[in-house]
Structure 1
Amino acid sequence: MAPAYVCMILFMFMLASSHSAAVTSAAILVTVDQSGNGDYEKIQDAINAVPSDNKELFFIMVKPGIYKEKIVVPADKPFITISGSKANGTIITWNESGEIFESPTFTVLASDFGARYLTIQNTYGPGAKAVALRVSGDRAAFFGCRISSYQDTLLDDTGRHYYKNCYIEGAVDFIFGNAASLFERCHLHTLSEGDAAITAQRRESPSEDTGFTFLGCKITGVRTAVLGRPWGAYSRVVFALTYMSNVVLPQGWDDWGDVSKQSTVFYREYKCYGPGANAEKRVGWSGKLTDNEAQLFLTKNMIGGKSWIRSIPTRFKKASTKHA
């Protein structure tokens, strides 16, 4: 990778960073370039080179290209960030259907993971479960990424997660799982052609501190959809300050054919707007948050994010050796 390219990208990252968590140590910079001008030609090879039980920050910079890879970030490799320069130029793609833990294009098992300006897609299409991204580690953050599939796009499985300025596309339960996650200024685009759900949150007991919050987001689509349905009996989803196009059906929510869940789910909206936000015909077992109730959902405090969401590193060093 040419030095001028590295300097340009790092300068852009530093300008784009606005997060409060400070990084005091230099990150180890690793480059991936399909043309052979980086440290590695494949993203997975760069991940594999990170030591087990790693304690240092690794910043894997991926040069634009289409990377046909099935990626796994193992649980014993924390503190990795993988970044492109812009999402529509750095594309990680796979085509596979199957069970939700087996089909993902990109799987994150490690804690303290970050991704920036990547497209992560599963191109399988309709007809089966086909996960694009599975996030099963704690303290994972995604900035400016594009995540797309059709059914079960984003398995937001377990842990605390933060998504900012991401584009997420799918048709059926395309944001699902039992993580505690904040989606800020994200664009949700539903491919549903009827009444499929955007979310399927799986909170299974009132003692679980999990749920999805969508803050300042935008919902568009091709036809119509509902905001969510309960994968777990205590499913918790909040939409706040979100623009809803007329793709959102008037009833807003679905009980997945189990009326008993109507008394246990927590489905709330707060100061949403647009033609799909009209609450007159919403199901009676959803509701609106008061100003006081909404405060919990309007900051990163709900996921403890101020203590772990990292800024772009401002100092870099190269790895001491290049692994084969």
Structure 2
Amino acid sequence: MEAIAAAPVYSISRYYIHVEAGVYRERVEVSIINGDGFIAKFITFENSAGDGSQAVAVTSVSNQSAFFQCTFLGYQDTLYAKSGWQFYRECNIYGTVDFVFGAAAAIFQSCNLFSRLPKTITFSTQNKQDTHVSSGYVIQNCTLTVAPGLERQKPLFKAYLGRPWSNLSTVIVMESYLDDIIQPTGWLSWGNISTNKVTYYEFRNHGPGASTGKRVNWKGYKAVTQANMVRKFTVARFIFGDDWLPGTGIPFTRGFMTD
């Protein structure tokens, strides 16, 4: 906690905190990550409250934030990617209900999204509010499956790629492995929120849960076959990663993985 307290409140340069390897069970209060250019590498963030109610492990409103080989452990609402441009590479995200949620423009590249309990699972809940603001989740070259050790319980899982938190909710799932826990309809509605203007695209996915033949019949859903239709959701175009990701030292793929 002393290292956090020593960090400047406002700074024009990046401030580094090196955490020695180990398990630290203490209360470290970094309530919200809001400084632009935040970077985390090789860290596990856990909310140990358990299942049953909202228990956020990380909230990030940091613009141009990047996470590399980090693990996020929680159940409901694990990762609150709230706003700004965000990039996650080779991370492990564990949860159950809406475990990636918020209104950021966030790309999850080469990550694992692990379902932790045999119940109804929603991997994402995106909350885009304005057509003129960059906002949405891109799940690229990721694996969506059960947590390690739960493989035999797969028949008890009913998973969905996402559900809308707003009527402009935007989620792109592309070039990813979808396990057989994904239900044939793929997506789930939420209350009275309209699905006419959502943007829910699937592109070049594979695995037993990737078939789009029985997906939802929503105006805002598309099983995309043309790359040009989703090119604007790549790192280079959606979060302008060429301009800032090289400075993080984190590897990234600026376009499609399968070109």
Compute the displacement of 1:306 (Å).
1.9
Residue in structure 2 matched with residue 251 of structure 1 by the alignment = 185
CA distance in 2, matches of 1:71, 1:113: 17
Say whether 1:265 aligns with 2:222: no
Compute the displacement of 1:269 (Å).
0.4
Residue in structure 1 matched with residue 32 of structure 2 by the alignment = 107
Deviations 1:164-216 (A, max 9, x none): 00000100000000000011001001125333311000112323320000111
Please, which of 208, 212, 231 is the counterpart of residue 275 of structure 1? 208
Aligned with 1:262: secondary structure? coil
Compute the displacement of 1:72 (Å).
4.5
Question: Aligned letter for 1:299?
Answer: V
Aligned with 1:287: secondary structure? strand
Residue in structure 2 matched with residue 17 of structure 1 by the alignment = none
Please, which of 22, 37, 42 is the counterpart of residue 117 of structure 1? 42
Question: Aligned letter for 2:74?
Answer: S
Please, which of 240, 243, 246 is the counterpart of residue 304 of structure 1? 240
Aligned with 1:65: secondary structure? coil
Please, which of 78, 83, 86 is the counterpart of residue 161 of structure 1? 86
Structure 1 residues 288 and 70, CA gap change in structure 2 (3 angstroms): farther
Question: Aligned letter for 1:292?
Answer: N
Question: Aligned letter for 1:301?
Answer: R
Say whether 1:287 aligns with 2:222: yes
Deviations 1:280-309 (A, max 9, x none): 110011212221112112333311222222
Aligned pairs for 1:1-324 within 5 A: 44-73=1-30, 107-221=32-146, 222=154, 223-258=157-192, 261-285=194-218, 286-289=221-224, 290-309=226-245, 310-312=247-249
- TM-score in terms of structure 2 length: 0.86
Mind listing any 5+ residue stretches in structure 1 that lack a counterpart?
1-43, 74-105, 314-324
What percentage of aligned pairs have identical amino acids?
A: 32
**Aligned alpha-carbon RMSD (Å):** 1.7
The answer to whether the 8 A contact 1:195-1:249 is kept is: no
Deviates more, 1:133-142 or 1:299-308: 299-308
The answer to whether the 8 A contact 1:205-1:233 is kept is: no
CA distance in 1, matches of 2:4, 2:59: 16
CA distance in 1, matches of 2:79, 2:136: 14
- TM-score in terms of structure 1 length: 0.69
Compute the displacement of 1:66 (Å).
1.7
Deviates more, 1:297-306 or 1:249-258: 297-306
Mind listing any 5+ residue stretches in structure 2 that lack a counterpart?
147-153, 251-259
Deviations 1:1-54 (A, max 9, x none): xxxxxxxxxxxxxxxxxxxxxxxxxxxxxxxxxxxxxxxxxxx32122123321
Number of equivalenced pairs: 237
Aligned with 2:49: secondary structure? coil
Question: Aligned letter for 1:298?
Answer: T
Structure 1 residues 267 and 70, CA gap change in structure 2 (3 angstroms): farther
Deviates more, 1:64-73 or 1:272-281: 64-73
